[in-house]
Copies of this chain bind each other. A is one copy, B any other.
Amino acid sequence: MPAPHRTSLHLADVSIADEFWFPRRETVRTRTIPHQEARLREGGQFEALLLKPRSHDGDDRERFPIFWESDVAKWIEAASYVLASGEHPELDAAVDKAIELLAGAQQEDGYLNNYFTAVKPGKRFTDLRDAHELYCAGHLIEAGVAHYEATGKTTLLGIVRRYADLIGREFGPGGACEGGYDGHQEIELALVKLHRATGERRYLDLALLLTENRGRTPFYFDAEAERRGDTGYFGGHMSPGGVFVRSSSRDREYNQSHAPVREQTEAVGHAVRAMYQYSAMADLALELGDQGLREACERLWDDLVATKLYITGGIGADPSIEGFGEPYDLPDHTGYAETCAAIGLVFWAHRMMALTGEAKYIDVLERALYNGVLSGASADGTKYFYGNPLASDGTVERSDWFDCACCPPNLARLLTSLEQYVYVADADGLYVNLYVTGTARLAHAGQRVTVAQESDYPWDGRITLSITEAEAPLPMTLRLRLPEWADGATVSVNGAPADHRTEHGYAVLDRTWTRGDRVELTLPMAPALVRADPRVLAAHGKVAIQRGPIVHCVEEIDNAAPVPRLLIARGGELRTEHVDGRDAVIAEGLVDGPAADGLYSDKPPAAEPTAIRTVPYYAWANRGKGTMAVWIRETP
């Protein structure tokens, strides 16, 4: 029995017109997307689609990586969202051109991955574990759906349907890959989107099949590796502790194939793979009313949020696997926190809210979005972090591009489709999940309704929602998310305290609305010192500063000394200043004296009073290199 459907509004039905997101989205449109197009051109991603098979091996094409279709696909997807919200003929033409390249690279039977067509012919679908074929297919499908929904054109949608149908045959009963699944999850959530866009049940069934095949014994990837004849000196891998790992249990956790997905209990392995898998599980749980998948999602969520989530919403602390470390293993300097993983957490959190109707998921979504996601790009939108550490020794800076360029277009596609995260509708009415100035149009009980939202969020906690369009008095439930950090929030309607209840983290307003009704929500936004569970060793004896949804950090450029030498005074005053379009918090503190001579010394440093100035974490690394930290030592 399917759960009551909560869905995002269509992109075209939401406008974003605030001072926080609007300029950022314009930057993505005018700078990031063209910059990325140029990089894909220079990098050879487009050109690689023109390669034809050759009869001999060994030339330079060996160097073309295997997942370039995904870079192209994510760029098309981001561009499509831009096309959804306005006329951009040049961009439209550039997207069409890229789609032509993909069309040219598609094989008779629907196959579309030019590495295995041109570089390694005959090897398709023989290395599902590592070769990223279904991952690329998933991104192509997401791009095809986005392009279709934005433009109405079926050029790319037709391509990806043919490819998805081939995959359905290969992975279906009697197919060459029967029992198989992808080594980098992505296609599952894409197939759900394809199902929703086309109404074809078979894509949903394929998503479920791939999801349920995962982690079953005997392990598909083992049999597949044997068929490939993989061997090595060590017959396993040597872990840093000098221990042979002969069974591949850790390798299986890496791609979450260690157990059937319904039985998984802890967030483990590569974080992006995990997020995409969990997102698909939540989608399937919603579409199919599948209680087992829902419970697995809830268990995995609780584990992640209780033990493996950075205060920035970053996840995946361990760079060696781009993934989860042990519980509470959240180092700051060496923490990975890949931009793509935080984006994946936004995807999953959004789906969990749609599945459950609970605001706690959006609290985490917001934490990630305003902090660990947004830090992934520079203020000008053309430089990127792959990992988002919570501290820097002064050597960390954003890069122009990456050879493995997954993060920049992922960020672009998230920001250009931000509309879908602001509101969720169900049969009762509207959930307001994010506070973003703009409008939402929806049909409710057969009427067209428009809700306008206005605020200076995230800098100011006063939010106004107005019913600007309603044909007749309309009974409708309006749910306003009360963020976890907002103790003492107040709600009024038309100037009087509102009669409301709190449910699942939302202030719930059940009433009959007429045009001109105004709701005022006030969220207290005093800056606060936040401490971590002492098992988070990197934060031990330290505090972070948070104001509203914004996690702050301390950069050397604003302060009297390199950041590791600063201490915040416990109980000292915290002031907020708003300059350069963003908050700074000023805290009372101390600065340690300069270094003693030599690597080790028995001279104690002296400490002097100082004022410590912060900057939002997302905004760091925009003013040259220098030390930075989120967690700052606190005077005991």
Contact = CB atoms under 8 A, between A and B. Distances in A.
Interface of A: 62-63, 65-66, 130-131, 231, 233-236, 238, 240-244, 246, 305-307, 309, 311, 319-320, 322, 326, 328, 331, 333-334, 336, 386-387, 391, 393, 395, 399, 402-407, 528-537, 540-541, 544, 562, 564-565, 567, 570-571, 590, 592, 595-596, 598-605, 607, 633-636
Given A241-B387, A319-B240, A541-B567, A530 B600 contact: yes
Contact of A533 (B66, B536, B567, B599): B599
B393 A240 contact: no
Contact of A595 (B320, B333, B403, B533): B533
A406 B242 contact: yes
A386 B241 contact: yes
Nearest to A396: B241
Nearest to A66: B233
B305 A62 contact: no
20 contacts: A238-B403, A242-B386, A242-B403, A242-B405, A242-B406, A243-B404, A244-B404, A305-B599, A309-B599, A334-B334, A529-B602, A530-B601, A531-B601, A533-B595, A534-B562, A536-B599, A537-B564, A540-B633, A541-B592, A567-B636
A403 B62 contact: no
Counted per complex, copies of this chain come to 2
Given A243-B399, A592-B541, A636-B635, A600 B532 contact: yes
A59 to B, nearest CB: 12
A319 to B, nearest CB: 4
Contacts of A386: 241-243
A43 to B, nearest CB: 11
A74 to B, nearest CB: 14
Nearest to A405: B242
A230 to B, nearest CB: 11
A48 to B, nearest CB: 13
Contacts of A336: 240
Given A306-B599, A601-B530, A131 B567 contact: no
B636 A322 contact: no
A62 B592 contact: no
A530 B395 CA distance: 26
A131 B233 contact: yes
A333 to B, nearest CB: 6
A103 to B, nearest CB: 25
B531 A403 contact: no
Q: Is the interface of A mostly helix, strand, loop or mixed?
A: loop
Nearest to A487: B602
A407 B242 CA distance: 9
A596 B533 contact: yes
Contact of A636 (B562, B592, B600): B592
Contacts of A562: 534
Given A63-B235, A66-B233, A564-B540, A242 B596 contact: no
A387 B238 CA distance: 14
A510 to B, nearest CB: 31
A223 to B, nearest CB: 16
Given A242-B386, A242-B407, A636 B531 contact: no
Contacts of A565: 534, 540
Contacts of A567: 541, 636
Looking at A65, A307, A407, which has the most chain B CB atoms within 10 Å of its CB?
Answer: A65
A633 B406 contact: no
A403 B535 CA distance: 31
B596 A531 contact: yes
Contacts of A233: 65-66, 130-131
B404 A242 contact: yes
Given A242-B402, A244-B404, 14 more contacts: A65-B233, A238-B404, A240-B387, A241-B402, A242-B403, A306-B598, A328-B599, A331-B334, A531-B603, A533-B598, A540-B565, A541-B592, A567-B636, A604-B634
A240 B595 contact: no
A263 to B, nearest CB: 25
A545 to B, nearest CB: 10
A119 to B, nearest CB: 9
Nearest to A569: B636
B535 A393 contact: yes
